Structure 1
Amino acid sequence: MNTDPIADYLTRVRNAIKANQRVVEIPASNLKKEITKVLFDKGYIANYKFEDNGPQGNIKVALKYHPVTKVSAIRTLTRVSKPGLRKYAGMDTMPRVLNGLGIAIVSTSKGVMTDKEARQQNIGGEVLCFVY
């Protein structure tokens, strides 16, 4: 059994990028689906597909690479809030990743969003991960 499914999600994506794979398949959950949507909206992944086969389903994520240099759009994926130590941030203490060049994915009372969107809506929440 996985104790931290979000860390597993990030590790699968990280490993697929290091192996230069185009598509990675991840067991689905509602939170993972929301994180995938945020990554797609911000341009870090090329596409995604939710498959409902079996009790849980899968997420197929198509990774995005530069056409000439073959460098991934995602350079770093870092888990911030862990099951043993949750990290929460208010609207005023929301972290900025690479001075605004990266994103922090935050789980708020109004859903999963980026740090910038959370600041605009004046809400805080649990900082799940940093992406840049």
Structure 2
Amino acid sequence: MQHSIWKMYSTIRNGLLTRKKSVLQPHKAICIDVLKVMYKEGYINGFRKLSGQSDKIEIFFKYNNGNPAITKLSALSKPSCRLYVRVESLWKLNTSLQTLIISTPRGIFSDKECRKLHLGGEILCVLQ
């Protein structure tokens, strides 16, 4: 599970560094869930499953005045050190300039959605 997410983070970072409009990524359900959160929060323009290649998705990047919308993308939780957060701790975190993507028992959500739904979980990554 985590390996495919890390590979996607690396693909996104490399695509943004080379100023590409889009990149291709292997189709995994967990990656789709993370991309949905990125789209809702305004970090990417969208993504789509390629019709000819059923195992690939295309991720479309968002740029603001020539600068990528994602300036920092880092994975926090690792197999050697899982990082979990309780909903009470989410309220104490100052995430006004960044977005946490959290895996909860009810799915993958942003930190803002987790506060609304009163959910805690494993922090997958930080977007800035």
What is the TM-score normalised by the length of structure 2? 0.90
Q: Which residue of 1 aligns with 2:4?
A: 5
How far the C-alpha of 1:41 sits from its partner, in A, is 0.9
Identical aligned pairs, as a percentage?
A: 28
Q: Which moved more, 1:85-94 or 1:44-53?
A: 44-53
SS at match of 1:60: strand
Aligned pairs for 1:19-58 within 5 A: 19-51=18-50, 53-54=53-54, 57-58=55-56
Report 1:1-132 matches (<5 A). 4-51=3-50, 53-54=53-54, 57-66=55-64, 69-94=65-90, 96=93, 99-132=95-128
List structure 1 segments (4+ residues) > 2 angstroms apart after TM superposition. 51-54, 94-97
Aligned partner letter, 1:5: S
Aligned mates of 1:15, 1:86 — CA distance in 2:
25
In 2, Cα distance between equivalents of 1:3 and 1:126: 12
* Contact in 2 for aligned 1:91/1:124 (Cα 8 Å): yes
SS at match of 1:100: coil
Q: How many equivalent residue pairs? A: 126
Distance 2:46 2:2 in 1: 27
Residue 85 of structure 1 aligns with an amino acid whose one-letter code is: C
**Alpha-carbon separation, structure 2, partners of 1:84 and 1:4:** 13
- Tell me the distance in 2 between the aligned counterparts of 1:44 and 1:81: 20
Letter in 1 for 2:113: E
Unaligned ranges ≥5, structure 2: none
Residue identity in the other structure for 1:23: S
What is the TM-score when the length of structure 1 is the normalising length?
Answer: 0.87
